[in-house]
A and B are shown apart, each in its own frame.
Chain A
């Protein structure tokens, strides 16, 4: 009797984060949410990715997120409800935002814990080591 109930309760539900929902309806953006992105064996985080479909959309996005540079990568710690608003690195929860001009992309990595922040740094460090 309990098995079918267990089956139903385990069925995967797509839980959308508010940031994804906020931008998903936009016609000028391709928006994706990666739930449970693995930073290391034990740490996961949610990632929201916004890709501007053209340069006009990218200009709008830059304006919305107050991105003033025009090349390379711009990163900041954003308020969890208003990611454009910059917050101190110690604030939790927060978004670690990275805007890549060449790809017209902004990615937001959710940071809830110190463990996640450290895992994100370790992920980047590992990338450096692999490059060398």
Chain B
């Protein structure tokens, strides 16, 4: 066997060995990819759900965005009512 023949066989064996290894590893790689995608999808669902819950505003008759007050213990809706009532009072 001369050098040329040896190199050719070596290269061929190397390629075949590589292909075989890929064939063996492919199912494992597919499984890992599936797991990774499932994990990402789960995280995305959790983030969207969390976002929805924290930003949930009931679509009832809330007629203001938010209220700030320098005293605690007074309901936000009270101030919206005051703002509304004063407009009403003047017209009477």
Interface size class of A (residues with CB under 8 A): 35 or more
Instruction: Find out whether the CB atom of B86 lies under 8 angstroms from the CB atom of A30.
Output: no
Main secondary structure of the interface of B (DSSP, over half): helix
Instruction: Find out whether the CB atom of A31 lies under 8 angstroms from the CB atom of B69.
Output: yes
Instruction: Find out whether the CB atom of B64 lies under 8 angstroms from the CB atom of A3.
Output: no
Instruction: Find out whether the CB atom of A36 lies under 8 angstroms from the CB atom of B86.
Output: no
Distance between Cα atoms of A38 and B61 in the complex (Å): 10
State the Cβ distance, B85 to closest chain A Cβ, in Å: 9
- Using a CB-CB cutoff of 8 Å, which residues 63-81 of chain A contact chain B? 73, 75
Instruction: Find out whether the CB atom of A12 lies under 8 angstroms from the CB atom of B66.
Output: yes
Query: Which of B9-17, B26-34, B76-84 is the interface stretch?
Result: B76-84
Assuming the contacts A34-B79, A105-B86, A125-B91, asked whether A10 and B55 have C-beta atoms less than 8 A apart, the reply is yes
A interface list, Cβ under 8 A from B: 3-4, 6-7, 10-12, 14, 16, 20, 23-26, 29-38, 44, 47, 49, 73, 75, 98, 100, 103, 105, 107, 109, 120, 123-125, 127-128, 131
